[in-house]
């Protein structure tokens, strides 16, 4: 049985607002605000429960060890003496945004019939550049079955942000799809994090069919408006591509190539005169999970999308007009949203037979109950910006993660 599994990054105990991502407008705006890691993680768990209730298979990826002492050591420093910016970078809980963990090509798309995963190098942002090591360790454990092949990150200087800049369209999840790699062209006010060279390397490693693989440039306007990842302005699932009118540099060419590769594609484009790029970015309309359910294509949206009148009006009209998206589901992920991460950022999609995944990385309601217990007991209630160096807080964060690993029977497996 092949299914699309959403692996959500469990929001870690060090979740805080350090303003580490220039070009990510929400994160920059909230720099220095008080963060609530416990509430954040419980919001993420509630979103996973909502996915389960939609009939979806749900997985998790774990918070990384923070502070990352190994990384600080490689910079010839340690947490006690490192300058403030390195401390903040070593402490970031940014691995929660699992869409940036890896790029995934399901077995149906690859020449060897194996599901390929390439860990993202996330090299553009220092606080994210040290995620790849532990992500690789986790993926090796979660996907140890011969049905998978895990690739290490593409080397620098080619920036790779994983599934956030990758879309897949297909007649059904287990059918051969068209894979679309969306890269940024540098030169605008904010960094273009995904480099075309990296996308091409991933496509080669995954042994994709060149006639069913597209490389598409993000529009400069989208990056300048704060769409630091393509998944802030577009999302795809099965036959449906849902995108903002200004998401791509040359959309006519892209849509023509896509329709040639997959004539049955349904392109749902939101015009800029209904929803501006600014509204798309602040509401995260497109950072929704577009999922297949018994009730048809369903969009799992953040509350911020309902709060924006232009966005909500467009969504209501679409559903009432019998557009391809049939159902809207709202989730509260405000703590993550305030750092520029919506429902889609929090999950990595893997199409495979769930029986081939290490069970410890799959969840049901009962397992989420146990995880929520650990979160409630051990995650800090809040982290104020000036608490980042406090020894008590660090001890608490490290203990919280240990307790989680113990609960999930993963002690020792993903630490080195």
Binding segment for ligand SUG (CB under 6 A), chosen from 11-19, 179-187, 233-241, 322-330, is 11-19
Angle (CA) 356-361-365 rounded to 5° is 110
Q: Choosing from 170, 179, 318, 345, which is the catalytic residue?
A: 345
CB pairs under 8 A, 24+ apart, for 28-34? 30/338, 30/339, 32/385, 33/338, 33/385, 34/382, 34/383, 34/384, 34/385
Please tell me whether residue 335 binds ligand SUG under the rule CB under 6 A: no
Of the candidate residues 4, 7, 9, 24, the single one contacting ligand SUG (CB under 6 A): 24
Taking the complex as a whole, the smallest distance from the CB of residue 274 to ligand SUG amounts, in Å, to: 22
Q: How many CA atoms lie within 13 A of 334 on its CB side?
A: 10
Of the candidate residues 43, 100, 218, 308, the single one contacting ligand SUG (CB under 6 A): 100
Q: Distance (Å, rounded) from C-alpha 3 to C-alpha 172? A: 10
Please tell me whether residue 231 binds ligand SUG under the rule CB under 6 A: yes
Strands 289-293 vs 266-270: parallel, antiparallel or unpaired = unpaired
8 Å CB contact between 17 and 27: yes
Q: Choosing from 4, 161, 238, 304, which is the catalytic residue?
A: 161
Q: Distance (Å, rounded) from C-alpha 185 to C-alpha 82? A: 34
Q: Choosing from 229, 304, 318, 335, which is the catalytic residue?
A: 229
Q: Distance (Å, rounded) from C-alpha 242 to C-alpha 184? A: 19
Within residues 376-395, the interface with ligand SUG by CB under 6 A covers: none
Within residues 141-170, the interface with ligand SUG by CB under 6 A covers: 164
Taking the complex as a whole, the smallest distance from the CB of residue 24 to ligand SUG amounts, in Å, to: 4
Binding segment for ligand SUG (CB under 6 A), chosen from 150-158, 198-206, 225-233, 293-301, is 225-233
Please tell me whether residue 97 binds ligand SUG under the rule CB under 6 A: yes
What contacts 223, CB < 8 A, 6 or more positions away?
23, 184, 188, 190, 192
Of the candidate residues 153, 341, 343, 380, the single one contacting ligand SUG (CB under 6 A): 341
Short-list 285, 343, 332, CA closest to 311: 285
SS3 at position 370: helix
Binding segment for ligand SUG (CB under 6 A), chosen from 20-28, 245-253, 267-275, 408-416, is 20-28
* Cβ distance to ligand SUG smaller for residue 216 or 405: 216
DSSP readout, 66-107? SS-HHHHHHTT--TTTS-HHHHHHHH--GGG-GGGTEEEE-G
Q: Which residue has the tokens 């650990």?
A: 374
Q: Which two tokens mark 376?
A: 């409630």
Q: Distance (Å, rounded) from C-alpha 381 to C-alpha 35? A: 8
Please tell me whether residue 345 binds ligand SUG under the rule CB under 6 A: yes
Taking the complex as a whole, the smallest distance from the CB of residue 181 to ligand SUG amounts, in Å, to: 15
Of the candidate residues 38, 65, 116, 128, the single one contacting ligand SUG (CB under 6 A): 128
Binding segment for ligand SUG (CB under 6 A), chosen from 12-20, 42-50, 257-265, 318-326, is 12-20
Taking the complex as a whole, the smallest distance from the CB of residue 37 to ligand SUG amounts, in Å, to: 12
**Does residue 345 carry a catalytic annotation?**
yes
Q: Mask: binding to ligand SUG, 257-276, rule CB under 6 A, as x and -?
A: --------------------
Of the candidate residues 60, 339, 348, 349, the single one contacting ligand SUG (CB under 6 A): 339
Phi-psi region at 409: left, alpha or beta (left = phi > 0; alpha = psi -120 to 50)? left
C-alpha R_g of the chain = 20
* Cβ distance to ligand SUG smaller for residue 380 or 405: 380
8 Å CB contact between 212 and 109: yes
Binding segment for ligand SUG (CB under 6 A), chosen from 103-111, 213-221, 273-281, 334-342, is 334-342
Please tell me whether residue 12 binds ligand SUG under the rule CB under 6 A: no
**How many residues form the binding site for ligand SUG (CB under 6 A)?**
23
Q: Which residue has the tokens 């532990």?
A: 134
Taking the complex as a whole, the smallest distance from the CB of residue 22 to ligand SUG amounts, in Å, to: 9
**Does residue 229 carry a catalytic annotation?**
yes
Please tell me whether residue 232 binds ligand SUG under the rule CB under 6 A: yes
Q: Which two tokens mark 138?
A: 């986790």
**Which is it for the CA torsion 120, 379, 53, 235, positive or negative?**
negative
DSSP readout, 400-411? HHHHHHHHTT-T
The residues assigned a catalytic role are 161, 229, 345
Tell me which residues touch ligand SUG (CB under 6 A): 17-21, 24, 27, 92, 94, 97, 99-100, 125, 128, 164, 228-229, 231-232, 339-341, 345
């Amino acid at each position: 049985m092949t299914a699309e599994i959403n692996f959500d990054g469990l929001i870690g105990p060090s979740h805080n607002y350090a303003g580490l991502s220039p070009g990510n407008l929400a994160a920059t705006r909230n720099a220095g605000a008080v963060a609530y890691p416990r509430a954040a993680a419980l919001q993420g768990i509630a979103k996973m429960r909502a996915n389960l209730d939609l009939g979806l298979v749900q997985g998790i990826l774990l918070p990384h060890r923070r502070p990352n002492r190994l990384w600080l050591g490689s910079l010839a420093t340690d947490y006690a003496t490192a300058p403030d910016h390195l401390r903040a970078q070593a402490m970031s809980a940014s691995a929660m945004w699992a869409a940036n963990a890896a790029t995934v090509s399901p077995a149906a798309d690859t020449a060897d019939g194996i599901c390929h995963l390439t860990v993202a190098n996330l090299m553009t942002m220092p606080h994210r550049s040290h995620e790849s090591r532990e992500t690789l360790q986790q993926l090796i454990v979660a996907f140890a079955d011969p049905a998978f092949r895990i690739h290490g990150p593409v080397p620098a200087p080619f920036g790779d942000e994983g599934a956030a800049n990758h879309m897949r369209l297909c007649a059904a999840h287990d059918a051969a799809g068209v894979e679309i790699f969306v890269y940024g062209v540098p030169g605008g006010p904010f960094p273009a994090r995904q480099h075309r060279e990296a996308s091409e390397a991933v496509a080669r490693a995954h042994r994709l069919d060149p006639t069913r693989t597209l490389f598409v440039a993000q529009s400069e306007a989208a990056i300048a408006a704060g769409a630091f990842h393509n998944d802030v302005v577009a999302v795809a699932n099965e036959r449906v591509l849902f995108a903002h009118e200004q998401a791509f540099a040359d959309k006519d060419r892209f849509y023509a190539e896509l329709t040639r590769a997959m004539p049955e594609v349904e392109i749902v484009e939101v015009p800029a005169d209904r929803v501006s790029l600014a509204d798309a970015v602040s509401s995260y309309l497109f950072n929704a999970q577009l999922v297949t359910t018994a009730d048809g294509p369903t969009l799992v949206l953040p509350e911020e999308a309902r709060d924006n009148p232009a966005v909500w009006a467009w969504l209501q009209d679409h559903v009432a007009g019998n557009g391809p998206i049939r159902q809207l589901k709202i989730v509260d992920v405000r703590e993550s949203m305030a750092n520029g991460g919506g429902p889609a950022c929090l999950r990595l999609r893997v199409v495979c037979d769930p029986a081939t995944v290490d069970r410890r990385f799959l969840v049901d309601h009962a397992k989420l109950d146990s995880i929520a217990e650990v979160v409630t007991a051990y995650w800090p209630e809040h982290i104020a910006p000036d608490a980042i160096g406090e020894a008590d807080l660090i001890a608490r964060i490290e203990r919280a993660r240990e307790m989680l690993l113990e609960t999930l029977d993963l002690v020792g497996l993903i630490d080195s």
